[in-house]
Chain A
Amino acid sequence: MAHDLHLKDPLIEQRLFRNRMLVALAAVVVLLGVLVARFYNLQVVNYDDYRTQSDENRIQVRPVPPTRGLIYDRNGALLADNRPSYTLSIVHERIRDMDGTLELIGRLVQLDDADVKKFHQRLQRRRPFEPVPLRYRLTEEEIARISVNEFRLPGVSVEAELVRYYPQTDLFAHSVGYVGRISERELEDFSEEDVRRYRGTQSIGKVGLEKSYEDVLLGEVGFENVETNARGRVLRVLERQDPQPGSELTLHLDARLQQVASEALGENRGSVVAIDVKTGGVLAFVSKPSFDPNLFVTGISVKDYKALRDSIDVPLFNRAIQGQYPPGSTLKPLMGLGGLAAGVIDRQTKVRDPGWYKLPNDTRLYRDWKRWGHGKKVDLIQALTESCDVYFYDMAHRWNIDGMHDMATRFGLGARTGIDLPVERPGLFPSRAWKRGARGMPWFPGDNLNAVLGQGFVLATPLQLAVMTATIANRGTHYKPQVVMAIDGVEQPPEVLHHIEARPEHWDLIFEGMESVVYDTHGTGKKAGADLDFRVAGKTGTAQVVGIAQGEEYDSEALKERHRDHALFVAFAPVDDPQIAVAVLVENGETGGGVAAPVAREVFFDWLSRPFEDTASVLPGPVQPENGGIRG
């Protein structure tokens, strides 16, 4: 360039360079200072925060669910067990692509839309970093396929979990009940404390003892601090507080007796409740038809549930405590005792029975079940033996509803028995006040006649009838019925609700009448005592079926069958030293003496005459020999 005249001067250039380099050096020093300050800021000033962050990264507090308490029958037969089951779970926070992960899992294990839908519901209410179950009950092959592909599935894990198993299947479904997955609604009702206690636990008692003893069976949750890597894989346990397993329940129930009672009912629908007279312990508790409680444990399929729910036989219905039936003539011993105690009748009271009864100033005929009557001079013993209705009509007319109601109430009718099972129904024994309140009508004399025969408004559950019978057998000592005998080996003491005072000769009369029901040639319940080497006392009953639920289509044959009377029988044995009281109800069984009494006979025979060593042989499930020997 023409005007670019100055020459290159090495010294000037060098000085220029040095100046520039020194400025750059200053900048370098400043920037280095920034880096040093940054390290100081991160590693010294905020050390605690970052230490916490990195610990939170790697250390997770995981709940260790307790094992649920086992349930044994009185002889140590296992009724509710825990078995390992493998669950595929996902930690949402570790998944970058949920849809892709689900798709991949779907190719490895069987996964239907319902699983995925439920999984998304569970995702909504998960706690952070908690594994959320996707599929339960993995097969061994599925577990293998998942573990082979583990590296492609960060955040996915297979977890072993103990789930409930009921080895006796349907035999104890209505007493032991079952557990199921904690539902949305149950979770909403949880208190803070419940949320803590159920961390890591996915099941909760839904019905039966599993529900009523939930607190005892659950146990106390433990915790462990585990170190995990970024994929959520647990590397080691740093600290652990062991869970406390739930308590073991030992029941009054006897698995073999239960089996016998259930078989004695055969194909019939109905209920058998047997009570230990000396303690109120429930020895057998049958409601048929039953169902397999194992279906519910990890979530029942819609199809299975619909089948159970829609069955005409309502297998989910617990007849023993929820079924309210007119008790019919099974009330007669109680009413007789009441009449004696009230002085309305005595041993000598005799009534002429032409086959009907008529109230004064009334044209309506109240018929006896026996068309031509029971004779001209029917006394209390004969009235019980042959179940003479007119005798009790006469007594009821001369007595009053207040006295009857008082007596029935003292034997536990019309109120929940307080058994340690949930959703018990109270039954009903009417009173003046009740009728005025519920029906808006005064008490009529004719109502007395219905009440004394256990009809009309009167309703009772099979359990209430068993308690009533046990109280008679006890000569007035009214025990609260109990299913659980011991919790963790600690005996639950029998609970006496009250004692019904009556003169001994009155009890003797009732005992004599009930014994005669079984042994008199005219007795209505003779089948209850056949071929037994001890004496049985009982009372038959039949209850009219009022109606069939509307809107259901049954074929005429089935309809006809379901319009038949219910058969009832209550009894206790042995008469000289009562041990066991039984109430049997057979729906549409027609005759108490013909259908229900033989069932009671099987129960008595098994309980009082069987060789003890045979306990194990009849049971379908495993027996724990070390716990054997508890026998009331």
Chain B
Amino acid sequence: MSCPGQSSQKMEVSVASRDYMHRLPDTGGSLSRPASFSRRWHIDVPLLTLLILLCGVGLTVLYSASGGETHYVRRQAVFLCIAFVAMFVAANVPLDMYRRWSPWLYVAGCGMLVAVLFVGVGAKGAQRWLEIGGFRFQPSEALKLAVPMSVAAFLHRRTLPPSFITVLGALVIVAIPAALIVRQPDLGTSILIAASGLFALYLAGLSWKMIGGAAVALVASAWPIWQWGLRDYQKQRIMTLFDPDADRLGAGWNIFQSKAAIGSGGVYGKGYMQGTQSQLDFLPESHTDFIIAVLSEEWGMRGALLLLLLYVLIIARGIYISFMAQHVFGRLLAGSITLTFFVYVFVNIGMVTGLLPVVGVPLPLVSHGGTSAITLMAGFGILMAIGTEQRRVTF
């Protein structure tokens, strides 16, 4: 059977689809319409609309956060354009190809992580970048997609719920890059990448007994980890969480100021470009990790809830796509990407509002930063590839 995206056979397709309409009423409705641009290029229109809205909000807040200067806004706009291109490309790669190529992507990613440990360049005491011909990039970004993809591909071929051996195999896939990234050191990214792999494993049907056992083990190891596993600055960040007022001008400064910014915004906010905390530089990192404090200060709780609503809709669309996916690989990958996206949102907002310790997680698609935007949009491209795959495989 031919695919409706192929224009040379347009007439036959419309005739052929009419037969299917009677047999498959729930999937066939859309097939009766002529192939649109979005369908032809595997674009999920609701998701794209939401993403564009989100990026628009992001640029608007970024303009205020950089004090009315266009420098960051222009840079970010360029990044976002590249990111949308990445999304578009990712959406048009056949899903099978992701599945078949994921082991190679994974191996290449881990290889680069090893390379980073030896020849990486870095800043502030961490080696995170590889530099090739003057071009810098962060291999850990690639792993953000490669890890859930590999786990999903690995589980795709196994019977589910996964057996113990299968779980062990998946855990190894997750553990290798996570360990390498911890060494950089970049604990935050490492945890997020591990989480994306574990989400796939969880969605595949990891037994509750194992989950419970892992939770017990985690609680039991909390003390040893605190004692020997964490560095001083990490411990301080956690302590700051519980008592931000203890050291207002030191470690607690960021949280103290971001809470003051958000709280002083109230329900209606101080007005766009009117936030005293952000405009007068009291708020640190206002255009990157702490940008939601700018939004909450200037647009108040109304603005913060509207932004949350945007994220919720994106996540809902992701979950919907995962529900509709026909195969295990797509299903697990879509679920993992969506849940990881939510974790980004939750960790960032939790951190800025003082619920979680300060870890360097940007607010997805709103914080200034190129690499994370590109990775995220590539992820959404994969999501679209999964979302449009169902029709492809229906025939």
**Interface positions of A (Cβ within 8 A of B):** 1, 4, 6-8, 12-14, 16-18, 20-21, 24-25, 28, 31-32, 34-36, 38-40, 42-44, 46-47, 49-51, 53-55, 57-58, 93, 96, 227-231, 235
Contacts and interface: CB of A to CB of B under 8 A. Distances in A.
Closest 3 CB pairs of A and B: A50-B263, A54-B264, A230-B281
Interface in B338-357: 339, 342, 346, 349-350, 353, 355
- Highest count of chain A CB atoms <10 Å: which of B296, B312, B355: B355
B281 A231 contact: yes
A6 B159 contact: yes
A8 B203 CA distance: 16
Given A34-B355, A58-B276, A58-B280, 8 more contacts: A4-B159, A28-B342, A34-B350, A39-B304, A44-B266, A50-B262, A50-B263, A57-B257
B364 interface: no
Nearest to B345: A35
Contact of A229 (B261, B280, B328): B280
A534 to B, nearest CB: 73
Contacts of A6: 159
B263 A35 contact: no
A54 B266 contact: no
A14 B332 CA distance: 10
B265 A53 contact: no
A43 B319 contact: no
Contacts of A7: 159
20 contacts: A4-B163, A7-B159, A17-B335, A18-B323, A20-B335, A28-B315, A36-B305, A40-B301, A43-B263, A43-B266, A44-B267, A44-B301, A53-B256, A53-B260, A54-B263, A54-B282, A57-B276, A229-B280, A230-B280, A230-B281
Interface string B239-280: 000000000010000001101111111110000000011001
A444 to B, nearest CB: 77
Nearest to B282: A230
Interface in B293-342: 296, 300-301, 304-305, 308, 312, 315, 319, 322-323, 328, 331-332, 335, 339, 342
Majority SS at the chain B contact face:
helix
B302 to A, nearest CB: 9
A93 B248 CA distance: 10
A17 B305 contact: no
Given A21-B335, A47-B263, A54-B261, A36 B308 contact: yes
A43 B280 contact: no
A20 B203 contact: yes
A22 to B, nearest CB: 9
A35 B323 contact: no
A25 B353 CA distance: 23
Contacts of A16: 160-161, 204-205
A4 B308 CA distance: 45
B63 interface: no
Nearest to A28: B342
B202 interface: yes
Interface residues of B, number: 49
A8 B205 CA distance: 13
Contacts of A230: 280-282
Given A44-B266, A51-B264, A35 B349 contact: yes
Contacts of B165: 1
Contact of B331 (A17, A34, A47, A227): A17
A1 B266 CA distance: 61
Given A35-B353, A93-B249, A24 B335 contact: yes
B264 A53 contact: yes
Nearest to A49: B263
Contacts of B262: 39, 42-43, 50
A34 B353 CA distance: 11
Contacts of B266: 43-44, 47, 51
Given A17-B203, A57-B282, A229-B280, A43 B267 contact: yes
B350 A35 contact: yes
B300 A8 contact: no
Contacts of A51: 263-264, 266
Contacts of A57: 257, 260, 276-277, 280, 282
Contacts of B349: 35, 38
A202 to B, nearest CB: 26
A42 B353 contact: yes
A53 B283 CA distance: 13
B128 to A, nearest CB: 26
B280 A50 contact: no
Nearest to B159: A8
A227 B202 CA distance: 53
A227 B280 contact: yes
A229 B249 contact: no
A54 B265 CA distance: 10
A44 B267 CA distance: 7
Contacts of A13: 160, 205, 328
Contacts of B199: 24
Nearest to A6: B159
A54 B349 CA distance: 20
Contacts of B335: 17, 20-21, 24
B259 A228 contact: no
A24 B202 contact: yes
A57 B264 CA distance: 11
Nearest to A47: B266
A54 B257 CA distance: 8
Nearest to B250: A96
B160 A50 contact: no
A39 B305 contact: yes
A53 B257 CA distance: 9
Interface in B192-245: 199, 202-205
A24 B332 contact: no
B259 A42 contact: yes
B179 to A, nearest CB: 26
Contacts of A18: 323
A34 to B, nearest CB: 7
A4 B350 CA distance: 44
Contact of B322 (A21, A35, A49): A21
A39 B353 contact: yes
A264 B113 CA distance: 94
Given A16-B161, A17-B204, A39-B353, A54 B276 contact: yes
Nearest to B166: A4
Contact of B296 (A43, A46, A229): A43
A214 to B, nearest CB: 37
A92 to B, nearest CB: 10
Contact of B304 (A1, A21, A43): A43
A50 B301 CA distance: 14
A40 B355 CA distance: 13
Contacts of A227: 276, 280
- Highest count of chain B CB atoms <10 Å: which of A4, A28, A36, A54: A54
A50 B260 contact: yes
B47 to A, nearest CB: 17
A39 B261 CA distance: 12
A143 B22 CA distance: 87
A622 B6 CA distance: 99
A311 B304 CA distance: 75
Nearest to B269: A43
Contacts of A44: 266-267, 301
Contacts of B160: 8, 12-13, 16
Contacts of B259: 42, 50
A130 B120 CA distance: 46
A537 to B, nearest CB: 75
B170 to A, nearest CB: 14
A32 B265 contact: no
Given A44-B267, A54-B277, A17 B205 contact: yes
A583 to B, nearest CB: 63
Contacts of B304: 39, 43
B315 A14 contact: no
Contacts of B203: 17, 20-21, 24
A24 B300 CA distance: 29
